[in-house]
Chains A and B, each alone.
Chain A
Amino acid sequence: MEIQQIKWDDKRYPKLLKNIKKPPKQLYVLGNAEILNMPGIAIIGSRNCTETGEKIAKDFANKLSSVGICINSGMALGIDTQAHIGALNAGGKTIAVLGCGLKHIYPAKNKELFFKIIKNEGAIISEYESNEEPESKKFIERNRIVSGMSIGVLVVEAAYRSGTSITARFAKEEGKNVFCIPHNISDKLGIGTNKLLQQGAKCVVTVNDILKEYDFLDNIKISNIKNTNTESINIEKIPKEYIDIYKCISDKPIDINNICKKVKMNINEINAGLTVLELEGYINKLPGEKYIKVV
Chain B
Amino acid sequence: MDIIGSKDKECTCTPQQITKYMGRISGPLLDRIDIHIEVTPVKYEKLESDIKPESSEKIKERVNMARKIQLERYKNNRIFSNSELTPKLIEKYCKLDANGKRLLENAFKKLGLSARAYGRILKVSRTIADLAGEENISSNHIAEAIQYRNLDRKYWGK
Q: With the chains together, A257 CA to B42 CA distance in Å?
A: 10
User: In the complex, what residues of B have CB within 8 A of residue A109's CB?
Assistant: 19
Instruction: Report the Cα distance A257→B41, complex, angstroms.
Output: 11
Q: Mark B93-125, 1 if CB is under 8 A from A, else 0.
A: 000000000010011001100000000000000
Contact of A287 among B39, B103, B143, B155 (CB under 8 A): B155
Indicate which residue in B5, B107, B128, B141 contacts A286 across the interface (CB closer than 8 Å). Answer: B5
8 more A-B residue pairs beyond the given contacts A275-B103, A286-B5, A287-B4, with a C-beta to C-beta distance below 8 A: A77-B15, A271-B147, A272-B147, A275-B107, A276-B103, A287-B5, A288-B4, A288-B38
User: Which residues of chain A have C-beta atoms less than 8 A from B40's C-beta?
Assistant: 255, 257, 288-289
In the complex, 26 of the A-B residue pairs with CB atoms within 8 angstroms, ordered by the A residue number, are A47-B15, A78-B15, A188-B10, A257-B40, A271-B147, A271-B148, A272-B140, A272-B144, A275-B103, A275-B144, A276-B103, A278-B110, A279-B103, A279-B106, A279-B110, A286-B155, A287-B4, A288-B4, A288-B6, A288-B38, A288-B40, A289-B37, A289-B38, A289-B39, A289-B40, A289-B150
Q: Which residues of B contact A273 (CB under 8 A)?
A: 143
B146 at the interface (CB under 8 A from A): yes
Q: A276–B143 contact, CB under 8 A?
A: yes
Q: Which 7 A-B pairs have the closest CB atoms?
A: A288-B5, A287-B5, A272-B143, A275-B143, A271-B147, A272-B140, A272-B144
Interface residues of B (CB under 8 A from A): 4-7, 10, 14-15, 19, 37-40, 103, 106-107, 110-111, 128, 140-141, 143-144, 146-148, 150, 153, 155
Query: What residues of A have a CB within 8 angstroms of the CB of B150 in the complex?
Result: 289
Residues of A within 8 A of B37 (CB): 289
**Chain B nearest CB: distance from A183 CB in Å?**
15
Which A residues touch B141, using CB under 8 A?
Answer: 272
Is A104 located at the chain interface by the 8 A CB criterion? no
Interface string of A260-295 (1 = CB under 8 A from B): 000000001101111110110000011111100000
Chain A positions within 8 Å of B14 at CB level: 47-48
Query: With contacts defined as CB atoms under 8 Å apart, how many contacts are there between chain A and chain B in the complex?
Result: 59
Residues of A within 8 A of B128 (CB): 268
**In terms of DSSP, what is the predominant structure of the interface of chain A?**
helix
A279–B142 Cα distance when bound, in Å, is 12
Give, as a whole number of angstroms, the nearest-CB distance from B23 to chain A.
Answer: 12
Report which residue of B5, B14, B128, B141 has the largest number of chain A beta carbons within 10 angstroms of its beta carbon: B5
Q: How many residues on chain A are close to B (CB under 8 Å)?
A: 24
Question: Most chain-B Cβ atoms within 10 A of its Cβ — which of A77, A255, A275, A286?
Answer: A275
Q: CA A255 – CA B110 in complex, angstroms?
A: 21
A273: min CB distance to chain B, Å = 7
Q: Are A268 and B107 in contact (CB under 8 A)?
A: no
Interface centre among A109, A272, A289 (most CB of B within 10 A): A272
CB-based contact A290/B147 at 8 Å: no
A182 to B76, CA, bound (A): 67
- Distance of A114 from chain B, by nearest CB (Å): 15
Chain A, residue nearest B132 (CB): A268
Minimum CB distance partner of A290 in chain B:
B5
CB contact between B7 and one of A188, A271, A278, A288 (< 8 Å): that residue: A288
CA distance A155 to B103 in the complex (A): 40
Contacts of B103 in A (CB 8 A): 275-276, 279
With A188-B10, A287-B5, A288-B38 in contact, is A274–B107 under 8 Å at CB? Answer: no
Residues of B within 8 A of A290 (CB): 5
